[in-house]
Structure 1
Amino acid sequence: MALNLFKRVDSVKGLFAVESISLIYNALTTIMVLILWPRMDHPGTMLLERAGIVVITFALIYLYHKYPCKLSAFIRMAVQMAFLAYWYPDTFEFNRLFPNLDNFFASAEQFLFRCQPSVEFSELCPSMWFSEPFNLGYFAYYPMIAIVTIYYFLFRFEWFEKVSFVLVTSFFIYYLIYILVPVAGPQFYFPAIGMDNVMAQHFPAIGDYFNHNDILLPGPGFDHGFFYNLVEASQEVGERPTAAFPSSHVGISTIIMIMAYRVNKKLCCFLAPFYVLLCCATVYIQAHYLIDVIAGWVSAVCIYIAATWMYKRWFASVVFQLVAR
């Protein structure tokens, strides 16, 4: 199929669905910044960054109306997805102010499984033959998202706005949960309390410890592996003691697999091994408790249904006519 990115399309007035939900999330978190202003680390900068995102959004809308084509439509929606890289660490600026809840989750993990699966898993499988495949799966998270969304853009363009909306909305729902439920995960919590406490099955509350500390436990496995080093480097740059429950890696990748299955079963089969490795890796590298993974699977289905309903209820009545002339 020949793809003409510059082929003119019917210009759509107003906001795309994904831009609308992004501006709503922007407004909600802006209100939170104003409410929590005295306790926040750099609220002024956060407000300026939010204003910058709004300016960029409307600048791209202007660009699209001046040059209405498939490429300019893609850029508008892709930029909103790219902003997720900003919104994720932004959750930490809120939940760092509240008492950490890892002690409850680690205790629940111990009660349910009679051990800490993240510790047991990595100790049972420490070699490169386990470490590298699991880290490959974990690193495949963003490529999986890119592959499926670009596939929709290239081959199911009429569904691209819906897919973008559902994906970004799903992320925002997870981010709101992370703001309200401050759980850092084993790779942050265990260094904070010490492995002696973990082995003794003692999981003390640490209050707002992560408001001033962000020590990250190095991942287990073969520490000179290629994918191990890629994951470690990416975590050093973008990871924060936040977003453990439920696992958005598991939740979003599950939603991506649903999207892939709906459009091309061969694509779904191709991604399936990476998906399985990713789900295992979240516990193996100690980024999540096992209950985070289970909650990721359950929440993915619920959030996918909710986000799809939101799109049909609020935006499907607005004609989206990105049809090439």
Structure 2
Amino acid sequence: MNEFETGKYQSGDSAMAWTGQPERLGCLIARAFAAVSATCGAFEWIALGYLALSSVLVALFAENLAHPARLLSTQAAVAALILLVCRAGEKTSNPFDKGGAFSAKFWQFWRHWYPHLFFLFCFEELGRLVHLVDPGWQDAKLIAFDRWLTGVNPTLWSEHLARPALTEFMEFSYFTYFVYLVILGGVLYFERDREAYWSVMTYSAIGYVFGYVIAMLFPAESPWFTLAGQWHGQLTGGPFTALIALIEKYGRVHGAAFPSQHVAGAMAALWGAWRHRRWLFWIFLPFVACMCVSTVYVRNHYVADVLGGMVTGTLGYFLGRRLMKRSRVIGSEAGAPSIKI
């Protein structure tokens, strides 16, 4: 009897212990999430928010996609990688300290520079998401807008201006898109202005996210595809023309033309330079202006795409400023730094 009672007691004790396991597990998960999320700044919340939103859209419109499960798993992996980099960067020394182990500098470097790879991933992924909601193309509306605005089809009209030297200049101008954020970010990073650095990344993230979502809801091919065969010949130039052709060969996305992500990214960087390094703004300005024109000349965008990119990039800047200001207020009220590194 006593043995039976003892066994019963032990069995009950085990059951009670087992019953408490889910609660403990939940607490551990909550603590782990809190620890990781505490390493995230405004940029990360924008990036993770976009991944969450696009994942919801993928789940809702899965029947329009070839491999929705693959897309969802890829986005989950990217989100996990962002959190891992943030957590690893938080545990290492300050990137602006001159000392520190190689591993610390390695993680701190990627903690600050991974946004560029994130933007590239999102843009390339749009090639699989452009028909998420609408199976057709909306280029006819953009062409009609260009005709209403200019009286001609600008991408076809500009062919009579084509000369090898002008084409080379335009391709160079188009290429400059890739360096604006790198140059501005590099200046801020090496001058140890971490708040300005993450502000600029946040401006860019918001501007890009607007563009990504619009591209999913309003798919456009670009003149390169829609007007193919209507030009009398290919554009010819020099080394920059060949370089852009190589980049487009391996990185061109069929769709996601409206709004122009090139223009949106350049505008966000331009506004960031105006805000944080005014001297760099005046250097960027003529190049950005030429780049906007070049997107039409090289047959990659409509004028409507350029105007759309200018709007989304500018929205990214102004909303980003408000967000960063709010982050500083919340951080000061909590007695903690507003921008995580």
Q: The TM-score by the shorter chain falls in which range?
A: 0.7 to 0.9
Of the three residues 61, 83, 108, the one matched with 2:145 is: 108
Report the CA distance shift for 1:75/1:315 in structure 2 as closer, same or farther (over 3 A). Answer: farther
1:143 Cα shift? 1.1
Of the three residues 78, 94, 98, the one matched with 2:113 is: 78
Question: Within 2, Cα distance between the matches of 1:12 and 1:316?
Answer: 18
Moved more, 109-118 or 98-107: 109-118
TM-score by length of 2: 0.77
Task: Please give the root-mean-square deviation of Cα atoms over the aligned residues, in Å.
Answer: 2.6
The answer as to whether partners of 1:158 and 1:323 remain within 8 angstroms in 2 is no
1:133 Cα shift? 1.0
| Percent of matched pairs sharing the same residue | 22
Note if 1:124 corresponds to 2:166: no
For residue 83 of structure 1, give the secondary structure of its aligned residue in structure 2.
Answer: helix
Q: Which whole-Å deviations, capped at 9, do the CAs of 1:246-304 have from their partners, x for residues lacking one?
A: 22222221221121122333322322332122111101011111122223333332332
Q: Specify the code of the residue in structure 1 equivalent to 2:69.
A: G
Question: Within 2, Cα distance between the matches of 1:120 and 1:163?
Answer: 36
For residue 82 of structure 2, give the secondary structure of its aligned residue in structure 1.
Answer: helix
Task: Provide the residue aligned with 2:124 in structure 1.
Answer: 89
Q: Specify the code of the residue in structure 1 equivalent to 2:304.
A: I
Task: Provide the residue aligned with 2:256 in structure 1.
Answer: 243
Task: Provide the residue aligned with 1:183 in structure 2.
Answer: 220
Specify which structure has the bigger relative contact order, considering alpha-carbon pairs within 8 angstroms and separated by 6 or more residues: 1
Based on CA coordinates, which of the two structures has the bigger radius of gyration? 2
Question: Within 1, Cα distance between the matches of 2:63 and 2:37?
Answer: 42
Q: Which whole-Å deviations, capped at 9, do the CAs of 1:75-125 have from their partners, x for residues lacking one?
A: 22421331111111222322224121001111222233221111111x232
The answer as to whether partners of 1:166 and 1:311 remain within 8 angstroms in 2 is no
1:167-246 paired onto structure 2 within 5 Å: 167-191=204-228, 195=230, 220-223=234-237, 225-246=238-259
For residue 169 of structure 2, give the secondary structure of its aligned residue in structure 1.
Answer: helix
Task: Provide the residue aligned with 2:46 in structure 1.
Answer: 21
Question: Within 2, Cα distance between the matches of 1:12 and 1:243?
Answer: 31
Note if 1:317 corresponds to 2:334: no
Q: Unpaired runs of 5+ in structure 1? A: 1-10, 196-216
Task: Provide the residue aligned with 1:8 in structure 2.
Answer: none
1:220 Cα shift? 4.5
Task: Provide the residue aligned with 2:31 in structure 1.
Answer: none
Question: Within 2, Cα distance between the matches of 1:58 and 1:252?
Answer: 24
Structure (1 or 2) with the greater helix fraction: 2
Note if 1:158 corresponds to 2:158: no
Report the CA distance shift for 1:31/1:315 in structure 2 as closer, same or farther (over 3 A). Answer: farther
Question: Within 1, Cα distance between the matches of 2:45 and 2:108?
Answer: 15
Moved more, 307-316 or 93-102: 307-316
Task: Provide the residue aligned with 2:29 in structure 1.
Answer: none
Moved more, 59-68 or 145-154: 59-68
Moved more, 136-145 or 13-22: 13-22
Q: Specify the code of the residue in structure 1 equivalent to 2:161.
A: C
For residue 174 of structure 2, give the secondary structure of its aligned residue in structure 1.
Answer: helix
Report the CA distance shift for 1:64/1:302 in structure 2 as closer, same or farther (over 3 A). Answer: closer
1:132 Cα shift? 0.8
Q: How many residues align?
A: 289
The answer as to whether partners of 2:203 and 2:320 remain within 8 angstroms in 1 is yes
Question: Within 1, Cα distance between the matches of 2:221 and 2:152?
Answer: 19
Q: Unpaired runs of 5+ in structure 2? A: 1-35, 96-104
Report the CA distance shift for 1:65/1:255 in structure 2 as closer, same or farther (over 3 A). Answer: closer
Question: Within 1, Cα distance between the matches of 2:277 and 2:234?
Answer: 35
Question: Within 2, Cα distance between the matches of 1:305 and 1:284?
Answer: 29
1:3-14 paired onto structure 2 within 5 Å: 13-14=38-39
The answer as to whether partners of 2:265 and 2:313 remain within 8 angstroms in 1 is yes
